[in-house]
């Protein structure tokens, strides 16, 4: 990266407006996780719903002023995606860099940059999904995933790709569990944060990680059982819990964990290192 482009990015991440817009991404993410937790509770109570991002976005779209809220969410997600791209180039926490610095670029590992880039891609996906619901063309991500999985299962290469995707999801989930159990997420926070954040982070990261691990396992199971419905994402993992022994209890525990992650995301909007 040239000194000129580095300087442009460094000035951009010094912008208070840009930082606040990116932090709004945490707020929207927190709200979506709280809505997913609410939908899981509804499923446990015998009501329908899609316990995933599309279900949460659809819930917002169906409220008064929901489309306006969704366009605000699009802007917040785009800002967060751009911030993560800046972290990919400058290193973690670029707003903490000194004069002429590049964040933590000297200490940044390839994993740090890959993680930042992966998060940028994720937030771009969130922005696209929110825009689709704002325009009235949003669809269930579970149905889309199942349809894509069915087409991929028609070839050996497609099945191989699905297995790789399942393993990646399991890996991401395991990382969430590790990050929560070891409290490594505290490194992402400013030092002056409240004590309530720690238990929220532990429960939230572990719960979300376990759900992701379950999602990845179901993707692999779907390949070997030729059942694309099992590869429909988080919604499938959540609904699989309902068929397990003590299913309702497990669903309520999952809802509690996802809600904790949502609350942690809301707190991150203020206390995250940027």
Give the pLDDT score at 185: 92
Using the 3D structure, point to which of 97, 113, 139 is the last residue of a domain.
139
pLDDT in tens, 101-151: 444 555 678 888 899 999 999 999 999 999 999 999 988 888 888 888 989
Instruction: Kindly report the pTM of this predicted structure.
Output: 0.88
Same domain, 133 and 243: no
Same domain, 166 and 74: no
Structural domain tally of the chain? 2
Please give the Cα distance from 133 to 152 (Å, whole number).
Answer: 26
Same domain, 18 and 98: yes
> What are φ and ψ of residue 272, in 5° steps?
-70, 145
pLDDT in tens, 138-163: 888 888 888 889 899 999 999 999 99
Task: For residue 190, count other CB atoms closer than 10 A to its CB.
Answer: 11
Same domain, 6 and 114: yes
* Structural contact between residues 161 and 214, judged by C-beta atoms closer than 8 angstroms: no
Task: Convert 197-232 to b/e letters by CB count within 10 Å (16 or more is b).
Answer: beebbbbbbbbbbbbbbbbbbbbbebbeeebbbbbb
> What is the residue range of 165's domain?
140-274
Q: What's the DSSP call for residue 272?
A: B
Please give the Cα distance from 260 to 207 (Å, whole number).
Answer: 9
């Amino acid at each position: 990266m040239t000194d000129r482009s580095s300087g442009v990015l460094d000035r951009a991440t010094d912008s208070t407006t840009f930082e606040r817009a990116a932090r709004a991404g945490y707020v929207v993410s927190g709200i979506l996780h709280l809505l997913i937790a609410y939908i899981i509770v509804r499923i446990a109570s015998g009501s329908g719903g899609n316990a995933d991002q599309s279900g949460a976005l659809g819930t917002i779209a169906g409220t008064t002023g929901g489309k306006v809220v969704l366009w605000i969410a699009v802007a917040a997600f785009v800002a967060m995606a751009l911030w993560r791209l800046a972290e990919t180039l400058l290193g973690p926490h670029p707003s903490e860099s000194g004069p002429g610095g590049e964040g933590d670029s000297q200490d940044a590992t390839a994993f740090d940059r890959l993680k930042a880039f992966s998060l940028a891609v994720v937030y771009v996906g969130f922005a696209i999904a929110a825009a689709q619901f704002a325009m009235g063309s949003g669809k269930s991500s579970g149905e889309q995933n199942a349809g894509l999985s069915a087409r991929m299962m028609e070839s050996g290469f497609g099945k191989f790709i699905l297995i790789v995707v399942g393993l990646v999801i399991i890996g991401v989930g395991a990382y969430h569990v590790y990050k929560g159990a070891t409290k490594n997420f505290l490194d992402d926070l400013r030092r002056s944060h409240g004590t309530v954040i720690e238990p929220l982070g532990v429960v939230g990261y572990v719960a979300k990680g376990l759900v992701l691990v379950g999602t990845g396992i179901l993707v692999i199971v779907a390949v070997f059982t030729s059942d694309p419905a099992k590869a429909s994402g988080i919604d499938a993992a959540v609904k699989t819990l309902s068929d397990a022994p003590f299913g309702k209890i497990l669903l309520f525990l999952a809802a509690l964990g996802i809600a904790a992650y949502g609350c942690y995301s809301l707190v991150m909007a203020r206390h995250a290192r940027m």
